[in-house]
Structure 1
Amino acid sequence: MLGLRSCASAAAVLAALPHVLAITPEQMLAAPRRSEAIPNRSGTLAAFTSTSYSFDTHNTSTSWNLLDLNTGDISLLYNGSEISEMIWIGPTDTSVLYVNGTNREVDGGVELYMVASIPAPLSGLKAAVTQSGAINFLMNGQRYPNGTAYNEALAETPASTARLYDSIYVRHWDRWLTPETFTLFAGTLTPASDSSNSSSAWSFSGELRDLLAGIEGQAETPVQPFGDSGDYDITPDGSTVAFLTKAPELPYANYTASYIFLVPHDGSAVAAPFNCHNCSATPENARGASAAPRFSPDGSSIAYFQMDGETYESDKNKIYIARLDDSITVTELADDWDRSPDQLRWAPDGQSLFVAAKDVGRERLFSLPIDAGADYVPTNYSDPGVIAAFHILPDSSALVSSSSIYSSRDFYIATPEDKTWLFTSNSTDPELSGLGPEDVSDFWYQGNFTTVHGWIVYPESFTDTSTYPLAFLIHGGPQSAWLNSWSTRWNLRTWADQGYVVVAINPTGSTSYGQAFTDAIQNNWGSYPYDDLVKGWEHINSSEEFPYVDTANGIAAGASYGGYMVNWIQGHDLGREFQALVTHDGVTSTLNQYTTEELWFMQHDFNGTLWDNRDNYERYDPIRYARNFATPHFVVHGSKDYRLPVSEGVFLFNVLQELGVDSRFLNFPDEGHWVLNRENSRVWHHEIFRFINAYSGASGST
């Protein structure tokens, strides 16, 4: 077992913290980033990681920690980045199986420490103890076409770098597609016959079974680029595995449909789906993306989500339970509930489910019985932040890992009656000292066809007798939302602490306000959302409620669809109300969107193809209004962004320069749709803030 060492209590740390007047980009980026807290079987302890960054040494430091779920005390479990994953396993509450990110025997491999040598960089460990005492485990990674694990460190370097394709979908998000695909590998750790004469109580034969072998058509799990171990599950007895893959018979570029497959862990049969388009158990309208397959505690049922629309990534996730008898039957729960859950867990007794769903700018925890009818309204009992993850404890309470605009990670235990707070980062981390709920408020106003919600984030030392330039931030998606959550990419408080009042509105198309509000953006990119934003700006500008907001010296910024909207605003009247604009990886011309890889995205949102429905693409094309461009504009684009290629950023910058509009272009050759490298993010913040502050007169220093 790993040794435990006591750490100073949170109260002692808090007493020694200096008061931070404002959070700078460096503080935000260097502050500890904590994982979810993963509890042991008895619900007495939970493990989590904490990773910090030093701009002096340009290095990260990682530790594994134990959280006492009764007292909130935190102990150091291991200090080092070698351990990349850990799960609780075995008959006791102190046994763990963990992944060592290096391998003493195989370059580029990993180890199930100290039991098994894994010959490739596999991850996503899940495991179950069988009746015989063996441990059946799952890990995912890339495979060669022959089904063996792919290890880049050992792969031969070809003489030519040529890529040849004969079907669409040649690249995705930030990588070009190669013959190597992602799959799920199964292995077994068997009890050593004489553990007294062995360095381990377990042995591993080295056999890794490709559980996707034999599936006709293209199949891949986890589903890229966001899939992880949540895309598969194993029964408590270790006998059966469920995983999801996009529909193997359909072109990935054109469809979002995905199926859940069942397969024996020993690979004795070829995996088969139970909710495919032609499967007898599939509900009539369920043709879209599946998510979060989770076996019941007794392994007899599986709960999951599935959408109806097969070409729409933001349709409503419906809740289903499949009874795994000889004849599989599928039941939908709470059919009429107008929310789209995205996380799922079973109660210990198997009689109810817990789901997390975005709800009015938050992500909340809800519970519902497994026989919930169509009109059942799930019960919420979580904090008004955003749930990053949750686990159900033996007494059916929930261990929640969450965040908010003012706290990067909170841990608490929730029941319908109460919440027990175990940890809050803003009362522990020096970098976040001084942040709190008083930094944030929300407001409502009449939008295009319904009331619209927005957030206001205040700078440090805010007073309503002073005035502050407006930072008008627009979210991406477009089917997304500004939530009450922490972000290291668009951190609302960091923007505010440059001397702005941040206004972050959730216009038409935003999630968490009902499916109709989300769906209404289809074929309306430049109409309803723009109208909502104009009305929001007018509400801030004219209302006596906001005398402290200086709209005359405001700026607007957005990324992805938010970047599209900034470009649209630049060519319209609202663009003349700002002193400066910022576009990050945005759409400059809707006519260029066939350079993307997820063709279903534009074909859904613009009601058809470019050649059959060209008017829909031209109607809301920002570049049509280029002659109106006049506001100083900062443009950012990553070269590895293949969903919105870098040519869009270059296009916009070239037009601005030709028109004589003051503009700058910031490019990151090694970044995709987001700026993830901390050093790059530091430059991103400083260059953007330097540009906008010069025009707004904001007091922030960079």
Structure 2
Amino acid sequence: MNVTETKRKVEINDLYKLSTAYDAQLSPDGKSAVYVVRKINEETAQYVSNLYVVDLETKEERQWTFGEHLHQTPTFSPDGAMLAFVSNRTKTNQIYLLPVNGGEAKQLTFFHKGASNPIWSPDGNMLLCSAGVKSGETIHTKEEQNEKKELQPLVVDRLIYKADGRGFIKDTYSQIALIHIDSGESVQLTQGDHSYAASCWSPDGTAVVYSANLSDDPDAVFTSDLYVYNIDSKETVNLTTGQGSFGRASWSPDGSYLAFLGSQEENQTVTTTKIWLYDFSAQKMHCITQEWDVDVEDVGVGDLHSWRRNPGLIWTADSEGFYFLMSDQGNVGVYHGTVEGELTPVLFENLHVYDLSVHSNGQQAVVGISTPTLPGELYTLNLTSGDREQITHLHDTFLDDVVLAGAESFTIKASDGWDLQCWLMKPAGYEEGEKYPLILEIHGGPHMMYGNTFVHEFQTLTASGYGVLYINPRGSKGYGQVFADAVRGDYGGKDYQDLMDAVDYVIREYDFVDEMRLGVTGGSYGGFMTNWIVGQTDRFKAAVTQRSISNWISFYGVSDIGYFFTEREIKSDLYDNIEALWKHSPLRLADKVNTPLLILHGELDYRCPIEQGEQLFNALKRKGKETRFIRFPEATHDLSRSGDPKLRLDRLTYIRDWFHQYV
């Protein structure tokens, strides 16, 4: 009997069996690594994350934190004796210290709006952190303990006053605080009605680097500068002087350079992220990847690794180079760069490296790796030989139990000759000579990238008997600046044709695809495109649009990014060319829709507000079209990746059942 015949198919509830190991940090002596494991408690249907440590020699693993809370962002002190981490065990996120050799965790911060992003000083005596501070208050302001919370009007003076996942900002800004470890004394380093993000310390511990948009009109100017703040003199120097948007800075150990990520926003929303160096002796900055047409960041799309952080640029002790993540052609891998601009691949295969920690010796690293058939595990990586060894085994039982669909990657020619990368997954239980329905999946962004990573949603569809086609149409990142920029001003144009070209190709080249049983779905931009597709063609038997855009005119005024995203992406606004906004709006095509359309939307989605789904539903119903509207309570734009676990399962069930009914 074939081994796969003894395995079961993936189920929607298997989401409970999928964990994420991430935020790995090598100890200063390189002998161990701490990391976070986030999972869902099936009994409570709530997320839980705890810290684990693994001895890299013996592979012995120990759990360091316990309970039903979220423990995250672990950071070793320079001597390796203490671990700082963030926990919500007191309801708000606060920073705690844990002795590595044993003992209870001690709460270090008590800010009433919480603390995050701990960064150790070089001598281990202080920590930088971020803290939410309301305008006119400080980190030391105590929360008012009113027995009854009175309703208060929200006074709005700015265009940007809400954010998806955060709600109404209410004049609260991210400030930087300095914590003295021994005394617990805290000092607020930044003030005012601006938000600041701490990046790093100078090697001698006398200064810190942070990024901020300190323009007079941050609603209109979107640059972000890097500043060096001297701890003693309190003097600040702007290193980048309004030249673009920069962050994730890292100071070389010898103090000569500051390496950072960013761009001069030549292509606004779409400009590829590059590596920059500031030379302190010459007092000049320059881009060392100017001619390298790739994104120096992880732009991969999935539904399992949304907790990951950008590791930035990780220097080696000799200050001659650094390691970083890079996205290209559907893959995310590890590269090494030097101050002279030499760029060398270290780990770049058909996979998704979603996590990276490098020891200062430049010889060893810990990476998180996922593929279409691997949910994600941590590995040690020899940076010289490329050898790697698995150190977590979160999914061994799951992988032994289920049969997963692989993803075949191929490249086709679009109608106008552009290269398009696609992936095709066969349905579970596939038999040669049989015909199967096909679902076209469309990613959001649109400036993101499908790739060689695990997607639970895709596996549930293949387990339900569908083939799955996914593609990176023009507008996607990972294929260079021109490709990513091509969608701007052309939403629903050649990007739509790219998707149809891919569908035509697989129907022509793969005998198992039943061209009479096609479905389509996608979220955000993918939801926009799903709406657009069913207004253009009747070739799909069913469609599911998720957290979508249907009307660019109203989106302009209701989304948390509406006005500037619309102006940059559609290249029009409400005044100069409102006709263009309507031209690109799927709502305009509602009377042409003959495909049964399921509309999924979160009630608290501020990115693509739920009124976008409401308008489309009302228009379709008024025209007598086959449609249904599912509203997810308290769900933000990120429902499919980090939303309420039960609602995530409900969402997948609705998608599957809709396709079962009509495809």
Which stretch of structure 1 is more off in the superposition, 138-147 or 93-102? 93-102
Change in 2 beyond 3 A, CA 1:299/1:687: same
Equivalent positions of 1:108-507 (< 5 A) are 111-112=96-97, 113-114=105-106, 116-120=108-112, 121-130=114-123, 135-149=125-139, 154=144, 159-174=150-165, 175-190=167-182, 203-204=183-184, 206=185, 208-213=186-191, 218-222=193-197, 232-252=199-219, 254-265=220-231, 268-277=233-242, 287-309=243-265, 312-325=268-281, 328-342=283-297, 343-372=312-341, 378-393=344-359, 394-412=361-379, 413-423=381-391, 425=393, 428-430=396-398, 433-434=401-402, 439-447=406-414, 448-487=416-455, 491-507=457-473
Residue 618 of structure 2: aligned partner: 654
What RMSD, in angstroms, separates the aligned Cα atoms of the two structures? 2.7
SS in 2 for 1:566: helix
Q: Write the deviation string for residues 630-672 of structure 1: whole angstroms up to 9, x where unpaired.
A: 1101001112111211100011111121222221111123011
Change in 2 beyond 3 A, CA 1:178/1:680: same
| 8 Å contact kept, 2:597–2:626 | yes
Q: Write the deviation string for residues 323-345 of structure 1: whole angstroms up to 9, x where unpaired.
A: 234x6221221321110202322
Q: Distance in 2 between matches of 1:108 and 1:79?
A: 16
Which stretch of structure 1 is more off in the superposition, 636-645 or 519-528? 636-645
Residue 495 of structure 2: aligned partner: 529
Q: Distance in 2 between matches of 1:605 and 1:125?
A: 36
Q: Which amino acid in structure 1 is aligned with residue 289 of structure 2?
A: A
Q: Write the deviation string for residues 276-321 of structure 1: whole angstroms up to 9, x where unpaired.
A: 22xxxxxxxxx33213111112333210122122782321112111
Residue 563 of structure 1: aligned partner: 527
SS in 2 for 1:79: coil
SS in 2 for 1:577: coil
Change in 2 beyond 3 A, CA 1:605/1:240: same
Change in 2 beyond 3 A, CA 1:129/1:377: closer
SS in 2 for 1:642: coil
| 8 Å contact kept, 1:212–1:271 | no
List runs of 5+ in structure 2 lacking aligned partners: 98-104, 298-311
Q: Write the deviation string for residues 160-193 of structure 1: whole angstroms up to 9, x where unpaired.
A: 3211122321222241121221111111123xxx
Q: Distance in 1 between matches of 2:468 and 2:517?
A: 13
Report the TM-score when normalising by structure 1: 0.83
| 8 Å contact kept, 1:474–1:562 | yes
Out of 532, 549, 557, the residue aligned to residue 587 of structure 1 is: 549
| 8 Å contact kept, 1:508–1:520 | yes
| 8 Å contact kept, 2:228–2:239 | yes
Change in 2 beyond 3 A, CA 1:117/1:592: closer
Deviation at 1:94, TM superposition (A): 5.0
Deviation at 1:495, TM superposition (A): 2.3
Deviation at 1:418, TM superposition (A): 2.2
Q: Which amino acid in structure 2 is aligned with residue 341 of structure 1?
A: V
Q: Write the deviation string for residues 217-258 of structure 1: whole angstroms up to 9, x where unpaired.
A: x42034xxxxxxxx5222344322111123432333x34321
Number of aligned residue pairs: give it.
627
Q: Distance in 1 between matches of 2:141 and 2:545?
A: 38
Change in 2 beyond 3 A, CA 1:533/1:84: closer
List runs of 5+ in structure 1 lacking aligned partners: 1-16, 191-202, 223-230, 278-286, 697-702
> Kindly, what percent of the aligned residue pairs are identical?
20
Deviation at 1:150, TM superposition (A): 7.6
Q: Write the deviation string for residues 573-609 of structure 1: whole angstroms up to 9, x where unpaired.
A: 2xx1111101111111122221223222111112232
Q: Which amino acid in structure 2 is aligned with residue 119 of structure 1?
A: F
Q: Which amino acid in structure 1 is aligned with residue 174 of structure 2?
A: F
Q: Write the deviation string for residues 135-161 of structure 1: whole angstroms up to 9, x where unpaired.
A: 110121211323522889646566332
Deviation at 1:469, TM superposition (A): 1.0
Change in 2 beyond 3 A, CA 1:37/1:611: same
Out of 682, 689, 692, the residue aligned to residue 659 of structure 2 is: 692
| 8 Å contact kept, 2:363–2:384 | no
Deviation at 1:402, TM superposition (A): 2.6
| 8 Å contact kept, 2:85–2:95 | no
Q: Distance in 1 between matches of 2:365 and 2:403?
A: 26
Which stretch of structure 1 is more off in the superposition, 682-691 or 304-313? 304-313
Residue 631 of structure 1: aligned partner: 595
Q: Distance in 2 between matches of 1:160 and 1:564?
A: 36
Deviation at 1:514, TM superposition (A): 1.0
Which stretch of structure 1 is more off in the superposition, 235-244 or 135-144? 235-244
| 8 Å contact kept, 2:572–2:581 | no
Which stretch of structure 1 is more off in the superposition, 24-33 or 547-556? 24-33
Q: Write the deviation string for residues 432-456 of structure 1: whole angstroms up to 9, x where unpaired.
A: 74456x6111111111441100111
SS in 2 for 1:690: helix
Report the TM-score when normalising by structure 2: 0.88
Change in 2 beyond 3 A, CA 1:355/1:643: same
